[in-house]
Structure 1
Amino acid sequence: MSDTPIRPATHYRWDDMPKDELSNTISRRLITGDQMMLAHVYLKKGAIVPKHSHHNEQITYILEGALRFHLGEDESQEVIVRAGEVLTIPSHLPHKAEALEDTLDVDVFSPRARTGSTAATAICASSCLTTKRFRKSGPKRAAGCLNRFHLSLRASPSKDDFYFLLY
């Protein structure tokens, strides 16, 4: 037996958890434990989760709807995951997702994701930077919009596009 005290179990109800609005088309609810994180992700048809990767292993279980995943650095592997199906995504594998219909998915991350995960950051950043206001105002203004996600921004070769150095 360890000298570390055992924490009590915690009971949650999804409807009682706050819903984070990541964009106009994507929101989520999170439950975190010591080593894992569980997310309900709500995506409207046509929603895009931009390409990203993370050190966490991810298991995605689709409860309702369908997502098209593009996997790999070149996004050459395509997998459609429908209600009742599961996709495992290894650590550091770049991936992008598109909602083919209104979708509710359950994502499990191990180890648990940091606050401001790369997926959430990419979604928020994509949403902020696709508005005319931020495209014209440049990286400094966009950085202000996204500062709670701990982003570093720099301009890409295209004046209207940015890429992100996530940490």
Structure 2
Amino acid sequence: MKISEIEQKEIIKGFKGRFLHTASFTIAFWEIDAGSILPLHSHIHEQTTQVIEGEFEMTLNGETKRYTPGTILSIPSNAEHQGKAITNCKITDIFSPVREDYK
């Protein structure tokens, strides 16, 4: 299967994702428009965020950092986080357990 063959869904304004679900995790392949905002939130899922292209600013537990291609961030379960796409971005997230809300 090609990632480009997975149906794309806009989950938040400017955040368009393609999702692969297994029995225990979800992989999200995001295309994010520059300037798009990820509101402050938390969830039960553990998450890793890897920047593939672009520059993304993430605030995790009150600490803000900018992430560029090749960087990865680990977000623990229930940790508050928010973000902003500084440029157009491609980001890959892995969530465990499965993101039922992304199905």
In the alignment, the residues of structure 2 paired with residue 104 and residue 20 of structure 1 have an alpha-carbon distance, to the nearest angstrom, of: 14
Report if the CA contact (8 A) 2:31-2:90 is conserved.
yes
Equivalent position to 1:18, from 1, 4, 7: 7
Q: Give the unaligned 5+ runs of structure 1.
A: 1-11, 118-167
Q: Report the 3-state secondary structure (helix = DSSP H, G, I; strand = E; otherwise coil) of the residue aligned with 1:115.
A: helix
More strand by share: 2
Matches within 5 A, 1:81-160: 81-116=67-102
TM-score by length of 1: 0.59
> 1:68 maps to which residue?
57
Are 1:56 and 2:42 counterparts?
A: no
Query: Which of 1 and 2 has greater Rg?
Result: 1
Q: CA RMSD in A?
A: 1.4
Report if the CA contact (8 A) 2:12-2:38 is conserved.
no
Report if the CA contact (8 A) 2:19-2:102 is conserved.
no
Matches within 5 A, 1:40-55: 40-55=29-44
Count of aligned positions: 103
Q: Report the 3-state secondary structure (helix = DSSP H, G, I; strand = E; otherwise coil) of the residue aligned with 2:49.
A: strand
Q: Which of structure 1's runs of 4+ aligned residues deviate more than 4 A?
A: none
In the alignment, the residues of structure 2 paired with residue 94 and residue 58 of structure 1 have an alpha-carbon distance, to the nearest angstrom, of: 12
- The aligned amino acid for 2:45 is N
Q: Give the unaligned 5+ runs of structure 2.
A: none
In the alignment, the residues of structure 1 paired with residue 12 and residue 102 of structure 2 have an alpha-carbon distance, to the nearest angstrom, of: 14
Equivalent position to 1:33, from 22, 35, 41: 22
Q: Report the 3-state secondary structure (helix = DSSP H, G, I; strand = E; otherwise coil) of the residue aligned with 2:100.
A: coil
- The aligned amino acid for 1:31 is L
In the alignment, the residues of structure 1 paired with residue 13 and residue 79 of structure 2 have an alpha-carbon distance, to the nearest angstrom, of: 26
In the alignment, the residues of structure 2 paired with residue 23 and residue 33 of structure 1 have an alpha-carbon distance, to the nearest angstrom, of: 23
TM-score by length of 2: 0.93
CA drift at 1:24: 4.4
